[in-house]
């Protein structure tokens, strides 16, 4: 069984020192080892942006796609070979701005993919513009007078789209984050894990200290029941989306792969693709 070190490679990330993404990378590597994966059976699909580079920093099959399209690519990989563990990852711009349409539909579709969003509330790679996660009034290069749009709540959107696994964490809480990623991987269906990942260069508001002061860990509510959808939605609203931990999990709903008629457990990519003369004749006969 592979150790977390085997999920490391020799590439030095081009993230700024202190970037929250480093911890997320480490958490993915630890979680992959903890759930017993081998590097060749893990596919990490990532988007465009600072965080999108993560697929190149993990020793696994990595696919760095195009902006906002992480999820359709990841779902394609999973459909082609459901024996692979598929982790999709990208930033809040990638997933909640340009890729929001895919995010909602990937949630609805519920393929067994773990989606980790590195949420820094800003566009970093393009050097500091507003993101759908930026707070109202947030001043950036593209919103010099402060953002006049509302902040998007991915957790509420995920819940209303019928998500079967919703979690949120903070990159400084490596222990919680690792555990949530493990749970996400083990979840039979689509898992959304939104991770606060401070941008130390362009976001001077949502800093490590700011998050530490504002985060609400669900552990402090012993009566919280993550299988209760209404409770989950209430808690998200009560905490203004600042809660961390496993927010909601529906273990009843089957994954997309399990609902597709005739879909086998064996990866489709491994199945024989040649049709027999009998099969061919039968197909052709319909056109007579």
Binding interface with other proteins (CB under 8 A): 9-11, 38-41, 43, 45, 55-56, 59-66, 69, 71-77, 79-81, 83-84, 101-102, 104-105, 109, 260-264, 267-271, 273-275, 277, 279-281, 283-284, 287-288
Query: At its nearest, how many Å lie between other proteins and the CB of residue 60?
Result: 7
Query: At its nearest, how many Å lie between other proteins and the CB of residue 219?
Result: 36
- CA dist 81 → 75, 106, 190, 263 (Å): 10, 17, 16, 11
Query: At its nearest, how many Å lie between other proteins and the CB of residue 62?
Result: 5
Cβ neighbours, 10 Å, residue 100: 17
Give the C-alpha separation, 188 to 167, whole Å.
15
Residue 11 or residue 205: which is nearer to other proteins going by CB?
A: 11
Residue 20 or residue 62: which is nearer to other proteins going by CB?
A: 62
CA atoms within 13 A on the CB side of 38: 4
Residue 94 or residue 183: which is nearer to other proteins going by CB?
A: 94
Query: At its nearest, how many Å lie between other proteins and the CB of residue 104?
Result: 8
Spatial CA neighbour of 192 closest among 127, 105, 269: 105
DSSP per-residue string spanning 220-278: G-TT--TT-HHHHHHHHHHTTT-EEEEEEE-SSSPPHHHHSTT--SS-GGGS--PPPHH
Query: At its nearest, how many Å lie between other proteins and the CB of residue 266?
Result: 8
Residue 143 or residue 267: which is nearer to other proteins going by CB?
A: 267
Residue 84 or residue 218: which is nearer to other proteins going by CB?
A: 84
Residue 69 or residue 229: which is nearer to other proteins going by CB?
A: 69
- Give the H/E segment covering residue 29: helix 21-34
Give the C-alpha separation, 224 to 106, whole Å.
27
Query: At its nearest, how many Å lie between other proteins and the CB of residue 87?
Result: 12
């Amino acid at each position: 069984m592979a150790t977390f070190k085997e999920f490391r490679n020799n590439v030095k990330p081009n993230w700024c020192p202190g970037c929250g993404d480093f911890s997320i990378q480490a958490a993915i590597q630890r979680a992959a080892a903890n759930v017993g994966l081998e590097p060749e059976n893990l596919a990490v699909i990532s988007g465009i942006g600072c965080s999108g580079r993560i697929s190149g920093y993990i020793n696994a099959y990595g696919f760095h796609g195009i902006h906002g399209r992480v999820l359709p690519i990841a779902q394609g990989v999973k459909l082609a070979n459901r024996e692979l563990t598929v982790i999709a990852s990208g930033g809040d711009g990638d997933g909640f701005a340009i890729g929001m349409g895919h995010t909602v539909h990937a949630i609805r579709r519920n393929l067994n993919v773990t989606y980790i969003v590195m949420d820094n509330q800003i566009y970093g790679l393009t050097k500091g513009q507003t993101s759908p996660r930026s707070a109202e009034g947030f001043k950036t290069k593209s919103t010099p007078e402060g953002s006049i749009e509302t902040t998007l709540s991915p957790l509420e959107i995920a819940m209303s789209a019928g998500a079967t696994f919703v979690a949120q964490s903070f990159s400084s809480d490596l222990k919680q984050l690792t555990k949530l990623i493990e749970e996400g991987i083990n979840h039979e269906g689509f898992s959304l894990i939104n991770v606060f990942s401070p941008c130390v260069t362009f976001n001077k508001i949502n800093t490590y200290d700011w998050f530490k002061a504002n985060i609400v860990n669900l552990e402090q509510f012993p009566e919280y029941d993550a299988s209760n959808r209404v409770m989950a939605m209430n808690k998200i609203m009560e905490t203004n989306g600042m809660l961390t931990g496993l927010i909601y999990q529906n273990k009843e709903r089957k994954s997309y792969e399990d609902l597709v008629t005739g879909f086998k457990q064996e990866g489709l990519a491994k199945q024989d693709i040649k049709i027999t003369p009998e099969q061919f004749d039968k197909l052709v006969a319909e056109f007579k």
